[in-house]
């Protein structure tokens, strides 16, 4: 098939807002109370969209995760639980914040963590859990919220792939202590490079804001250099892009969801195919499309399935990660920093050995997953064509 290209994402709105930003003759978002600043307008728009009291803009999704850890004062040497199937941007900030990544197994249908798989790896050193709403599929978040509350553990949602996905009628990224988002070029809407976090309480907001801007104390609370922070600021040009893109989000999601839900429904009837379906009362946002197959029923090697799809114009690949994060060279060797020292391990006064991590459901899920890129320009006819190609690729 002729896989349709991504529809044009930008129009005169972006141009006009960027021009407005340039006419303001300053390209950073300060002072924080400048009501006409583009980043401040973007923050207001995001707060209204998510219905949260605080949003901190950041320069990437990776910066969002780092700002969340800094904002929640995750202590050096403590353990942070996360899935082994995710972007490097979820795990790298844990390393840089001198905490210990601890990998939890996943539900093989959705490739996301559950309360049960998280609980299995919680120890008395656990300070936080990061869940990842992979591909836009909502994690079964409420039981994890309850678990974290009961154990006094902070909960961070990596919702970089799940903008406007919902759980029980509420946007994912609003259930945990902090929700993390990315606005890089690949995401549902974009400002080029950027991101933001959603926050519910004032103290965490101030701490996160200071952490994301060199502890500059932009709110004049008398805390300059009371801590350290990086520079994760956004510029007014990014802000202009966000205020142009945000009003387009609902239509992008609606169209993706229509196509994605249709394909999911069709795939459900194929014997041996396991589409990525979230828990009851959730809505997917289809960042990309993934499905699994049961190797007992479908015996064709995955490589051959992928080749067949590629031959038919669908740029398919295997699971989301090439290998489990704990199996990568850097984790096996714990060679995170030059010089052979891993400060987090010294702080923890405990040795960690990633070569001994064994998460069978994550391995199974990732090795029997087929994924391909997906967007809101796919028509019903396109979806039916994709379905036919998937169906014939499996035999
Ligand atoms: C994109 C992404 C990130 C990182 O975002 P960047 O803006 O590329 O830093 C983090 N986590 C997940 C799940 C992502 O998809």
Q: What is the pLDDT of residues 42-63, one digit of tens each?
A: 999 999 999 999 999 999 999 9
Of ligand 1's atoms, which has the minimum distance to the CA of residue 86? 13
Tell me the two tokens of residue 295: 């190797």
Round to whole Å and give the CA distance between 149 and 170. 19
Per-residue confidence (pLDDT) for residue 36, from 0 to 100 = 93
Alpha carbon 228 to chain centroid, angstroms: 25
| Whether 374 contacts 260, CB under 8 Å | yes
Distance 88 CA to ligand 1 centre (A): 7
Of ligand 1's atoms, which has the minimum distance to the CA of residue 161? 15
pTM assigned to the model: 0.98
Tell me the two tokens of residue 130: 């990061």
- The enclosing H or E element of 363 equals helix 360-367
Q: How does residue 16 score in pLDDT terms, banded at 50, 70 and 90?
A: very high
Instruction: State the chain's mean pLDDT as an integer.
Output: 98
Distance 61 CA to ligand 1 centre (A): 5
DSSP string, 141-169: HHHHHHHHHHHT-EEEEE-TT-TT-EETT
Judged on CB neighbours under 10 Å (0-12, 13-18, 19+), 244 is: buried
Residues 238-279: tens digit of each pLDDT: 999 999 999 999 999 999 999 999 999 999 999 999 999 999
Per-residue confidence (pLDDT) for residue 91, from 0 to 100 = 98
Q: What is the mean pLDDT of residues 120-144?
A: 98
Distance 268 CA to ligand 1 centre (A): 29
Per-residue confidence (pLDDT) for residue 367, from 0 to 100 = 96
What residue ranges line ligand 1, CB within 6 angstroms? 60-62, 86-87, 89-90, 132, 158, 160-161, 182, 184, 195
Judged on CB neighbours under 10 Å (0-12, 13-18, 19+), 146 is: exposed
| Whether 286 contacts 257, CB under 8 Å | yes
The closest residue, in CA terms, to atom 8 on ligand 1 is: 61
Per-residue confidence (pLDDT) for residue 167, from 0 to 100 = 98
Per-residue confidence (pLDDT) for residue 165, from 0 to 100 = 98
The closest residue, in CA terms, to atom 14 on ligand 1 is: 160
| Whether 232 contacts 212, CB under 8 Å | yes
Q: What is the mean pLDDT of residues 29-54?
A: 96
């Amino acid at each position: 098939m002729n896989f349709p290209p991504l529809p044009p994402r930008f129009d005169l709105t972006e141009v006009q807002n960027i021009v407005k930003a340039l006419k303001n003759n300053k390209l950073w978002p300060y002072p924080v109370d400048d009501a006409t600043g583009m980043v401040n307008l973007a923050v207001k728009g995001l707060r209204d969209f998510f219905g949260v009291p605080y949003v901190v803009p950041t320069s990437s999704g990776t910066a969002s995760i780092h700002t969340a850890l800094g904002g929640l004062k995750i202590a050096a040497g403590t353990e942070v639980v996360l899935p082994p199937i995710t972007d490097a941007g979820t795990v790298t900030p844990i390393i840089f914040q001198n905490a210990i990544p601890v990998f939890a197994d996943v539900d093989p249908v959705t490739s996301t963590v559950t309360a049960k798989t998280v609980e299995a790896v919680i120890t008395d050193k656990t300070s936080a859990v990061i869940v990842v709403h992979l591909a836009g599929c909502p994690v079964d978040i409420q039981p994890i919220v309850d678990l974290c509350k009961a154990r006094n553990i902070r909960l961070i949602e990596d919702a970089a792939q799940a903008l406007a996905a919902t759980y029980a009628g509420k946007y994912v990224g609003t259930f945990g202590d902090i929700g993390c988002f990315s606005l890089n070029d690949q995401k549902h809407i974009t400002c080029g490079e950027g991101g933001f976090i959603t926050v519910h309480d004032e103290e965490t907001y101030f701490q996160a804001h200071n952490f994301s801007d060199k502890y500059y104390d932009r709110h004049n609370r008398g805390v300059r250099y009371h801590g350290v922070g990086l520079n994760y600021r956004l510029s007014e040009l990014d802000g202009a892009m966000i205020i142009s893109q945000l009003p387009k989000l609902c239509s992008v999601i609606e169209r993706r969801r229509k196509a994605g839900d249709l394909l999911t429904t069709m795939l459900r009837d194929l014997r041996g195919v396991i589409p990525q379906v979230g828990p009851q009362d959730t809505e997917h946002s289809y960042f990309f499309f993934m499905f699994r197959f049961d190797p007992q029923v479908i015996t064709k090697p995955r490589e051959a399935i992928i080749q067949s799809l590629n031959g038919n114009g669908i740029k398919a690949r295997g699971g989301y990660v090439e290998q489990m994060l704990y199996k990568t060279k850097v984790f096996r060797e714990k060679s995170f920093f030059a010089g052979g020292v891993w400060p987090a391990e010294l702080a923890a006064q405990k040795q960690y050995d990633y070569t001994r991590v064994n998460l069978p459901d994550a391995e199974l899920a990732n090795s029997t997953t087929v994924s391909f890129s997906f967007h809101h320009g796919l028509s019903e006819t396109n979806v039916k064509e994709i379905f036919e190609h998937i169906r014939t690729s499996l035999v």
